[in-house]
Amino acid sequence: MGISGSLAAGTALAGLLLSLALPAAAAPVAVPCESGTGPYQRELERHLRLPVDGRQSPADCAAISVFQSRNGVRPADGYAGLATYRTMLVVEARPNPNAAGRCPVRAYRVACVDLGRQLMWVQSGSRVVFAPVPIRSGRDGHETRTGDFSVYWREIDHYSDLYDAPMPYAQFFDGGQAFHGTNGDLFGGGSHGCVNLRLDDARRLWGTLAQDDAVHVWGTKPGTERALTTTAPSAERTPPPTPGAR
């Protein structure tokens, strides 16, 4: 046997000894879904066409976890919490967000803000030109005002002196209340009156709306108590001196 043959035999022997010494790699073990019953258990069961009993089961947990993974909810742990429920409302609204007819159908663009479902979209006539996305509106005592307005001032990198905070892609429609992006949690608390969107959604909304586009706001944010008087757009509009209800 030549040198090359000896090397080949030695390599084969070493491989055999190594395979005997090391155990085979274990197959990945699926982690069981163990989250308990969430406050929106029945709503998620109904949406996912599961048996509606309001009690978490392993099958429920797994199905909710898959829904969360597909729709970007983190953690995707199968718990039917507020973020998952609010995401479910957006998913359900996508085929026809104006099914209830609450947002006026016009020949021009209208930004539709549904405070009850905490989502918004833009339509032109009956055609949706900006699909529904989740929002965060004003908290109790700082409610986003309802009524008909129009975008009267836009600033892409606006900064609120009043609250010492950035308001990227700000589009003002009623005094200091504006659409703008945030990196914060949309599913907890509330704003000081502005309509907060995820940063990417605010960027896309900036590219969809223009100055003087109509805005229609209706409903009541869950957890707020005061019913504000519906207001109409003012004839005169000037940028707020310390802009930003945030």
Tell me the pLDDT tens digit for each residue of 219-243: 999 987 655 444 444 444 444 444 4
Q: How confident is the model at residue 246 (pLDDT cuts 50, 70, 90)?
A: low
Better-scored residue on pLDDT, 148 or 4: 148
Q: What is the mean pLDDT of residues 84-90?
A: 97
Residue 129, Cβ neighbours under 10 Å: how many? Answer: 13
At 221 the pLDDT is 93
Distance in angstroms (rounded) separating the CA atoms of residues 63 and 48? 7
Q: Answer yes or no: is pLDDT of 19 > 90.
A: no
Instruction: Give me the mean pLDDT over the 40-45 stretch.
Output: 98
pLDDT at 182 over 80: yes
Cβ burial, residue 74 (10 Å; 0-12/13-18/19+): exposed
Q: Determine the Cα–Cα distance for residues 245 and 193; give it in Å rounded to an integer.
A: 5
What's the CATH architecture for 97-218?
Answer: Beta Barrel (2.40)
Strand partners, 160: 165
Tokens of 75: 């953690």
CA 107, distance to chain mean position in Å, is 28
Strand partners, 171: 154, 179
Distances (CA, A) of 130 to 2, 70, 111, 122: 74, 20, 9, 5
Under the banding of pLDDT at 50, 70 and 90, the label for residue 180 is very high
Distance CA 54, CA 60 (A): 10
How high is the pLDDT of residue 12? 52
**165-174 sheet: strands from edge to edge:** 153-160, 165-174, 177-182, 195-198
User: pLDDT value at position 106?
Assistant: 97
CA 115 to each of CA 65, 152, 193, 197, 217: distance values in angstroms, whole numbers, following the listed order? 27, 21, 11, 13, 7
* Distance separating alpha carbons of residues 155 and 37, to the nearest angstrom: 44
- Greater model confidence, 6 or 92: 92
Q: Where are the domains of the chain?
A: 41-91, 97-218
Residues 6+ apart with CB under 8 A from 49: none
Query: What is the full DSSP assignment across 161-174?
Result: TTTTEEEEEEEEEE
In the structure, what pLDDT confidence band is assigned to residue 163 with cuts at 50, 70 and 90? Answer: confident
